[in-house]
Chain A
Amino acid sequence: MENLTNYLLVSAVLFSIGTIGVLTRKNAIVVFMCIELMLNAVNLTFVALSRHLGNLDGQVFVFFIMTVAAAEAAVGLALFISFFNNRESIDIDDANLMKW
């Protein structure tokens, strides 16, 4: 089996790439995909640590994270469609109604 640190390092790299994507991209759907990437990086940490500790609780947590991600995808994409119907755009800069 590979060293645990390698898995955690890969997970950290993926999480950072996801962070950069969330903060730099303007397209709301790409931002959403980067959030999914960050969630998956955390899932990898959970599974790797669960394997290291010899305890399955972490993997059950991954199961719940996936469920929440699925619910989030359904509601988030419905919001995008609703937003697009109102603004004819999916750019996050156009979501400025509550901007001061």
Chain B
Amino acid sequence: MDISSVFFAIVTIVAVVSALLVVTCKNPINSALSLVLTFFCLATYYVMLDAPFMAAIQIIVYAGAIMVLIVFTIMLLNIRVDANKKSAHQLVLGSVTGVATLLLAGLLLTRGKLAEPVCNITTEMINQQGHTQLIGKVMFTEFLLPFEVTSILLLAAMVGAVILAKRKLS
């Protein structure tokens, strides 16, 4: 067992435990902090998968921007720790659905056949040219139209958020 497998195992344990904490914590702030830890683990996976640019924007966008927004909202609304009023049938049905999803994914993973590689972007190529440059080349040639549409989506979201969250002027 080499060092990378050990490292992978450690990161996996941290990721799964913190994901479980997101679901089980009573206080939403604790859930949010556990979710940040999960995001950091995912960024570690991206580095291990030769995608450093993805790891960087995972930290900046998810752990930075989105989680700050969520924590800010939790504190703004000053939500109490929710009283224990879980209904049993909801818990059972939710768990059954979750386990069924996992079993289905496991079935597909064990029975399915992996596709052959289609292009040859290798680790050497990424190290030599830089991951950001490769991503940028694809994004601004092949995916130029989706990229522009994304900017319109962000504008619409910004306007929508302002309209929705402002108090009614009565």
Complex alpha-carbon distance, A26 and B86, angstroms: 8
Contact-residue size bin, chain A (C-beta under 8 Å from the other chain): 35 or more
The secondary structure that dominates the B interface is helix
- Pairwise interchain contact B153-A77, C-beta atoms closer than 8 A: no
The secondary structure that dominates the A interface is helix
Residues of B near any A CB (own CB < 8 A):
4-5, 8, 12, 15-16, 19-20, 22-23, 28, 31-32, 35, 38-39, 42, 45-46, 48-51, 53-54, 57-58, 61-62, 65-66, 69-70, 73-74, 76-77, 79, 82, 85-86, 90-91, 93-95, 97-99, 101-102, 105-106, 109, 114-115, 117-123, 134-135, 138-139, 142-143, 146, 150, 153-154, 156-158, 160-162, 164-165, 167
- Pairwise interchain contact A33-B70, C-beta atoms closer than 8 A: yes
A13 surroundings in chain B (CB, below 8 A): 16, 19, 102
- Pairwise interchain contact B54-A24, C-beta atoms closer than 8 A: no
- Pairwise interchain contact A7-B49, C-beta atoms closer than 8 A: yes
- Pairwise interchain contact A2-B157, C-beta atoms closer than 8 A: no
Closest Cβ–Cβ distance, residue B170 to chain A (whole Å): 12
A10 surroundings in chain B (CB, below 8 A): 12, 15-16, 45
